[in-house]
Amino acid sequence: MNFRAVIFDLDGVIVCTDRFHYQAWKETVEGLGISFDEEMNNRLRGVGRMESLEILLEYGGNRSFSREEKEKLAAQKNEIYRGLLAAMTPDDVTEEVRDTLAEIRRRGYGICLGSSSRNAGYILERTGLKEAFDRIVDGNQIKKSKPDPEVFLKGAALLGEKPEDCLVVEDAEAGIEAGIAGGMKTAAIGGAVTCGKADYRLERLGDLLGILDPVAGLSGDARKEQDRRQN
């Protein structure tokens, strides 16, 4: 199939910040008497911050929390998380990821980041990846988290492409479901491979290059026009 654009999730696909999420959530909810473990952490993959908090509070027994208390807990988690992100550098991005993104752009495909994280921009700045994407859509620009397709549909619209011409790359089942709901083809990597819902399964990100036609995507003139519209 010929695609015109690729939309990437961030965490678990481009960079790995799972350990930071884990540490931040653990510190936040264990103060409430909730014992946090890897199985619980896996339930949060691809899910927004407030939705993740709601999931974790299910383990808190019959105690109820006001909206204000929930917002305070979410802010506490994010403060811890951003403190951990501050230690990230360009070395946290593998050469394979950088080379794959560069080759996809060289072939003329549009490249978008589609992440539910409100910290996506900060992560891209810390790792020196901001210029690798034509467009960036994150949790600050959407109202609904995955598996709702809003983040991917917005990405396709910003690139000026039809959803059916876009390939979504995700490591979470919720993200794969979001891509499917948006009418896009999906490629699973990492934990999403076992869900069995994606059109393609990747052992590593570089496998994308075997899926994308080396001469497809946008022509040189079309790429220049897209760049002009975006700048």
Active-site amino acid positions: 9, 11
**How many Å is the Cα radius of gyration of the chain?**
18
The SS3 call for residue 187 is: strand
Token pair for residue 215? 């001469």
Strands (E), 27-106: none
Q: Beginning with the edge strand found earlier in the chain, give each strand of the sheet holding 166-170 in spatial order.
A: 135-137, 110-114, 5-8, 166-170, 185-189, 200-202
The SS3 call for residue 170 is: strand
The SS3 call for residue 50 is: helix
**Beta carbons of 163 and 152 less than 8 angstroms apart:** yes
Token pair for residue 75? 């802010």
Token pair for residue 37? 């473990």
Phi-psi region of 191 (alpha: psi -120 to 50; beta: other; left: phi over 0): alpha
Distance CA 162, CA 207 (A): 24
| Nearest to 43, CA basis, from 25, 30, 67, 62 | 25
